[in-house]
Amino acid sequence: MSLFAPQPCRLTLAGGVRLAYHQSSGASPGVIFLGGFTSDMSGVKATALERWCQARNQAYLRFDYSGHGASDGQFADGTIGCWAQEAIEVLDRLTQGPQILVGSSMGAWLMLLAALARPERIAALLGLACAADFTHYLLWDRLDEHQRERLRRERVLRLPSPYGEPYTITWDLIEEAKQHRLLDRPKLPITCPMRLIHGMRDADVPWRISAQVAERLSGSDVRVLLLKDGEHTLSREQDLALLTRALGELLEGR
């Protein structure tokens, strides 16, 4: 057995940027994991889901957006629209048949955008600490006027992060995201089954965001699962157990 993790495969986009990904073959529907803002595909949830899917011979794919993890590109060049389009390209070019998208934090926003763009490909959605529209209420609204003016002038701002390296926030990220906001819409024409798991002790994304998303979905098979002691990362053993249980129910069509 090799002591080294396998090298990721590469998907080359039209502009030459290469996205890194790991893919396991298996039964349909496949499962695609969409990570969070500044996260990568080597995280606890992404790899735990991979092991779970492999154990039950379920097709699975995890990948890094441009500027994240092992993929090409600079993080500061990324926008919500760019990363959503990359998720759609992964869906279109690397998978066949119905897929279940599992989105974590920002990834849950991107999975909703992908589902709106490709409804015929989506069997179900599973959101974890859904951060739809987070560039507005987590980034812009939390800046003071001095920071906002500096961002307008310099077009980039670095903010401390509780998860490691400082966040790099660009003016383009904030402005471009406005056209992808979902909570301003009265209805989201998504009818597939959906589960939204959120921790009530999430210090980053209020759990009410998941409830607001659920309210706007056109489908009726929607459940919001709240963990009273759950935090944003949802990476504890009990969190992962709930995640895989919810995914199992979606795969079995319950």
Judge contact between 93 and 11, C-beta under 8 A. Answer: yes
- 68 belongs to the catalytic site: no
Q: Kindly name the residue from 105, 198, 204, 239 that is annotated as catalytic.
A: 105
In terms of Cα–Cα distance, which of 22, 206, 196 is closest to 124? 196
**Amino acid, res. 178:** K
Q: Kindly name the residue from 64, 66, 198, 202 that is annotated as catalytic.
A: 202
Cis peptide before 29 (omega within 30 of 0): yes
State the burial class of residue 195 (Cβ atoms within 10 Å of its Cβ: 0-12, 13-18, 19+): buried
Q: Kindly name the residue from 22, 68, 232, 239 that is annotated as catalytic.
A: 232
DSSP per residue, 46-73: HHHHHHHHHHTTEEEEEE--TTSTTSSS
- 232 belongs to the catalytic site: yes
- 180 belongs to the catalytic site: no
Alpha-carbon span 30 to 57, nearest angstrom: 10
Question: Residues with catalytic annotation?
Answer: 105, 202, 232
